[in-house]
Structure 1
């Protein structure tokens, strides 16, 4: 075996392994791939001597604060690990997602080596900076890994043995890494298992801490293992939408990644209605109860904890921003960015904020109707109560009645044994947002009118109505007057829904687009990343029509951020991604900022643009479907469209799943159409 310090042999070994010619001892594929990145992407030299970069104290504190509950929980877990590893001459480190060491706990006997190796708080141990190493390579691979001595890329680190495991948040993002490093020539084989268990314990406890405002289900096939490290944890909101899960939940339910559960309704996973689970939590039932998965293949014991509500925080929760003078503002004021139309809507909405007056939002698709409805709820006295959103166009026609009004056990064939309370009852005390109300069929409009008039709902199969206290906000991109004239919408329901009617201005008609762009970029980048937007890019974006409005702009900027390697967005980033989001109506409003003319015909330009758009949309659609393992419902949620729209897009591009071995085929191969 090669000994640490043998520089020529170390460099030669890496070169041969990366080129595929090394025929000596077996090298882990993750290590070989990491070496390849070090040579090809980072341009590192295995024999160079590098001191780790160290961030400034202020930045270090900022990074610690960004981890929130994880930081406090990890410190306790690291001290427990240190007691278990006593006299082992090693150091225990926690890094953030960028490989910056945020916390260090070490054996005093390891202090000298730790200082010489660069193990200190604030040091950057990313793979890009210091080559293959436990912390950096763990974050790159997002799996537990052991980097043993000569597995390190840099010769200077080959005296170390590092075992590291990633720490994930409830949505599957690797937010930190836990590492144990030492100089023992006979590293203990259980160290990697120990650090991985500690990492899972940290993320489990952190998930419970950050999801206190959600209902939290804790479950396991054996009742005695509920509330242990092996339990599954699922956090869901008042409507039943899953907001966070831990790795044990994925493993127990047979899923590989978080995307398989995030966004789904909990009653599609377990054979029990959302109201039944909420009943457990509201009654303080802490003894594990038996439930089965929807497939019936797994029986588990589960408890459900109700959200922690702090009355003292209710008013504070409405404060989401400050104005130019530092005065607190609520969620509605946070929408202000200088456009007169938006400001007028906010002013009118504020006058009816806590009155029993329905609000109807009109505007093109993607113009922010849903976002405005949420802000209206968050600024009202109902802010600590449920906000339940129903997309009337997305729910299948046969299911919308049971989804809205609920049903009693045995109300119809296929009904859940526990029944279903329905979205209206889920919103009791809070706000019911009826999106795309114009697509609701007339018979349901009559029942909805009864709910609004009588303030009670009659579930399917029930003989007695249930009183409800809800604020109704509805939205549509259609023109209500035209629908009424065509007999598609009840006039009496319209008059009950439009107590106040607000029209959301199209993005192209707003005067605050530049401010909206900067706000979206910062929101999508997150608090840990500060992204500068070049003024030339903003000017170019201002020349476009944005037929998809804010939703289209957000998706375009999100893609640009994902593909950008730095902390700045410029025109070159638009060249790579903008066509994914810009429709065929894109045009220039400002000839001074438009590109210089080219000597082609208008027909040529139109054909070329249509081809580019079609190809880009097809590629983006295919990538999303593959990422969601061809689950159309999950893909629709990720793309913010309805399932019906997803099927239309798939049909337009000839995309359909054929078999596990050949997941796609094009329109020329189709023998049956995709549902539209």
Structure 2
């Protein structure tokens, strides 16, 4: 390997050195003692007052806005593992949390809740405080916690840096110490880096941003370097990966320009790319390493690429549309229609109500693409050039949602910003307001929202007058609102105001267009890289899986696998995450509950006739298919050939069973 290749390989696989984990814990214990923390101290429940928490949240608004979508995705990956995800300030104050209900109760007992200080000064050695003190990602497991009260926990935390290299907060996953997993820290690191990259894009919307890596397939991934410059070439900032590839800290880079780092004037960059994000080009860094680059002069897209390329998917106003005729005529709803009969019927209904001032309510499981469908409705409407504003009612703390929705005047509450803030409803004036997870809206705000919908006027907090507003409303939920109404948790008058047209978005396992969805997901991740394909045996396994996280889970899995592929760009078993492969080895251990088995009926899998799945799945995928076929056969016998009942028990679609028809015993299917 020559010197150039060696340097490029190092960039692809190395990471900046960190302290040894044991040394980090030892030093944290020494600090804890110096702070006067006692190991047998009881948990401190003296949290901030609501007004103080509002002020802290307002101070950390930029971090909060960019972190919550990533937290939702991270939680989707660890759901049902007795865990929770937390966001903290740079001082260790918990700003926001989400997690499994059973574990949230346990977290409450140790004061692991918003408004609590989890710095080392108050809690001793713990992942949040120690990661912030050591300025590196760390796992604190069980009795490594300084306080005995916290030793039932296992925690992995990574600090979050702003675009100027300063720690602005931390991202943490905490769970029961018995459910410890060594890969959690990697998920937390990746998620923290996602947040940093989002904040980076949000900080320099008008800058020239250069994305680069020694390997072109890594462009558009978490490991790409991103550096921002003024149009004249002055250095503004660089993310962690860029600093590492350039071999300099943020402080050292401030003395540089685009020319000194990339060896050519920035005007040559504009000529090379023609002012647009075209195919990657090779440039040479100041240290002699050749890298592949692409450039942007507009804000980057959302962190999770949607399956419909024209959509933003993050609740922000979509970028201005191209004036090219073919772009203006593109139908987002049509783009979403990938051949599934259920989805086609939904889209046909939606086309009839577009621009008719009829509110739309989208029902569907978490991750099934309700936000994408809402954006598609907006894109096909006469309001397409106006704002599309999304509000996730489940992700905004109860203490902030009122201010987020309705806005506030200066001095409306302690910590309010000078000049106040425009609420989401007014931001959507002239366009579309998307109320995601409407079932989680606090009861006391439902009456205020109803009044806005009826009178088309908004009264910001602290304001003496109302402001007229013109918005189209789209709402979505995965909950049964009629059950909430029966329990008194949701207003029936608001429900009937929102459900002009109710459509149900099918879960991924219920759709017949799985391969088309996979192709669109891969195509949107491809960007300028070679097109990635999937090996046939892997596609069969993906089609047989029940996808509890739906399209979002599929996207996350394929995004990871696409980074792992070899030169032939084919996703194989060895490229799939280990936890996903573990779940495939036991395909019926899913959340679905199978009917009881009577003594005279054959037992459920994987008993007699179901060969065990070996650990080396990458070398022997046929055995997994045998287990899958055997499971389908067992369940069909159990349900006397009723395909619908068998599919429901297995957690797959009827089409999945029909696709295996040729492999199943002929007496089981008509």
Greater C-alpha radius of gyration: 1
Q: Give the TM-score normalised by structure 1.
A: 0.45
